Chains A and B, each alone.
Chain A
Amino acid sequence: NAGVTQTPKFQVLKTGQSMTLQCAQDMNHNSMYWYRQDPGMGLRLIYYSASEGTTDKGEVPNGYNVSRLNKREFSLRLESAAPSQTSVYFCASSVNRRHNEQFFGPGTRLTVL
C-alpha cells in the first residue's frame, strides 16, 4: 500500500500560469481533502470531497478548483496562479465521515513568482 501519493513534489510557477496538483489513495477511502499549510497558520482546508461525485468548499477555496475523478483520485487546479498561493499543499483521505482519521500525502511545495 502506497497510502496517499501526490505529484509533483516541487513546482515553481510564474504569476498567471496554471497547473494541476494530483492526489491518489489506494486505501479505498471515501473522503478526500486538500489543505494548504503556511507558516504559523496550521492547515487550512481548501476543498473536500465527502464521497465520489461530490465536492465542497472549505475555508480558503478562492483561486482553486477541484475534481474528484474517481474514488481514488482528487485533483486540485490553480487556473491563474498568484504569489499568495505560494504554500505547501497536502492531500488527505479518510474512510468516511464516521471514521475520521485523516491520512496525509507527502505534500507539494509550490512557489509562485
Chain B
Amino acid sequence: GENVEQHPSTLSVQEGDSAVIKCTYSDSASNYFPWYKQELGKRPQLIIDIRSNVGEKKDQRIAVTLNKTAKHFSLHITETQPEDSAVYFCAAIEADSWGKLQFGAGTQVVVTP
C-alpha cells in the first residue's frame, strides 16, 4: 500500500514569512495529492490539491508543487498570517483504490506576530 511521510512535524514562522511543508510518497502510481488544514478542535478541510498531470498549482497565498520522479510534493504558504496557524496534513491516493487516501502524520504550523 501507499506510505506517506511528512516533514517537519512542527514549524514556527514569523508573520509575513513563508512556510514550506514537504511530503514523500511510495506508490509511483498515485495520481492525486490533497492538502488538508485542521484548526484546533475542528474538522480537516481541503485547502488545495494537485493531480499527477500537473507540476504546480496556486491559490492566492498557497501553492503545491509535485515532483513525480522524486515522488515528493510540497505545500508553500507565502506571507503567513496568524490565521494560518493550524495542523496541515498531506495525503496521497492509493492507486487502484476506491478513493482511499493515505495521510501524512501532520505538521503543526505556528505563526507568531
- Chain A interfacial positions (CB closer than 8 Å to B): 31, 33, 40-45, 48, 50-51, 56, 58-59, 90, 94, 96-97, 100-107
Contact = CB atoms under 8 A, between A and B. Distances in A.
Given A31-B99, A45-B101, A104 B9 contact: no
B66 to A, nearest CB: 15
A107 B89 CA distance: 16
Contact of B99 (A44, A90, A100, A103): A100
B112 interface: no
Q: Chain B interface: which size bin?
A: 20 to 34
B105 A101 contact: no
Closest 7 CB pairs of A and B: A50-B98, A42-B103, A104-B43, A43-B103, A97-B99, A42-B105, A97-B98
A38 B105 CA distance: 10
A44 to B, nearest CB: 7
Q: Is the interface of A mostly helix, strand, loop or mixed?
A: loop
Contacts, number: 59
22 contacts: A33-B100, A40-B105, A40-B106, A42-B6, A42-B104, A43-B89, A45-B101, A50-B99, A51-B98, A56-B98, A97-B99, A100-B34, A100-B99, A101-B46, A102-B34, A102-B46, A102-B101, A104-B44, A105-B43, A106-B42, A106-B43, A107-B43
